[in-house]
Structure 1
Amino acid sequence: MIELKEVSQENQEKIKNFCDVNNIPFYESTISHVVLDGSNILGVSQLKVENGIAEILIIFVKEEFRNMGFGDGLLKMQINYCYRNSINFIKVKKDLTISFSKELGL
């Protein structure tokens, strides 16, 4: 069963390992969301919040699971997190994949 969920700070080591294996940056002290198939991570997103401003740092889905809506789901989870926590301003990290950002209208 596929699920998208927020990862607690205590479980960030799994996210770090996933990022290391997939050669993508990992950021400490962020809000992380994952796409899981059982215990296998298929994708990850990280959101940094400082002074009431959120910044989307990473949205990454393994290549073989792309074009299935998982990246969109991760983005929606980040936006929902901001909404629930009264964060009204969201930035997108400059080097976040350009085609993904354009596809979503960012």
Structure 2
Amino acid sequence: MVEIRQMNPSERHWVKKLIEQYGFQFYDSAITHVVDDKGNIIAASQLAVEETQALILSIVVEENFRKMGFGDGLLKMQINHCYKNGIPIIKVKKGMADEFFKKVGFVEDGEWLTLDVQAFYLNLRCK
């Protein structure tokens, strides 16, 4: 069974290796979510949270598991975390898969793509 959840401390080494494998820096202070496929970490994301905004640091998916919705699931976990914790804005630096973020509702704002978390949930349409 595939599960998307917060990283367990015992998985730190494997998650750090996965994130760095794709050219991103691993941050111990970040909120880290993983996709666990029967004990195998196949995707991970990190989110840095400040008082009024959050910054997406990374979303990575093992190449053999791409185009299966795992990146989308991780992004929605990050959005949900912000919503539940009253963080109104999420930002991601432009150049990190811009079209992926834009299709969810992120908009260009200078060198950033930003998402109004409340507006995301108000405009959510289930298919």
TM-score category, normalised to shorter length = 0.7 to 0.9
Q: Does 1:33 align with 2:33?
A: yes
Structure 1 residues 6-63: Cα deviation after superposition (integer angstroms, max 9, x where no partner): 1245643332122234443222310011111112111111100112210111111111
After TM superposition, the structure 1 = structure 2 runs for residues 5-84 of structure 1, keeping only pairs within 5 Å, are 5-8=5-8, 11-84=11-84
Alpha-carbon RMSD: 1.9
Does the 8 Å CA contact 1:59/1:96 hold for their aligned counterparts? no
Give the alignment's TM-score, normalised by structure 2. 0.72
Does the 8 Å CA contact 1:34/1:74 hold for their aligned counterparts? yes
Q: Does 1:95 align with 2:95?
A: yes
**Larger Rg belongs to:** 2
Runs of 5+ consecutive residues of structure 2 not aligned to the other structure: 107-127
Runs of 5+ consecutive residues of structure 1 not aligned to the other structure: none
Give the alignment's TM-score, normalised by structure 1. 0.84
* Pair 62,11 (structure 1): closer, same or farther in 2 beyond 3 Å: closer
Q: Work out the CA distance in 1 between the residues paired with 2:83 and 2:102.
A: 22
Identity %: 48
Q: Quote the offset at 1:94 in angstroms.
A: 2.6
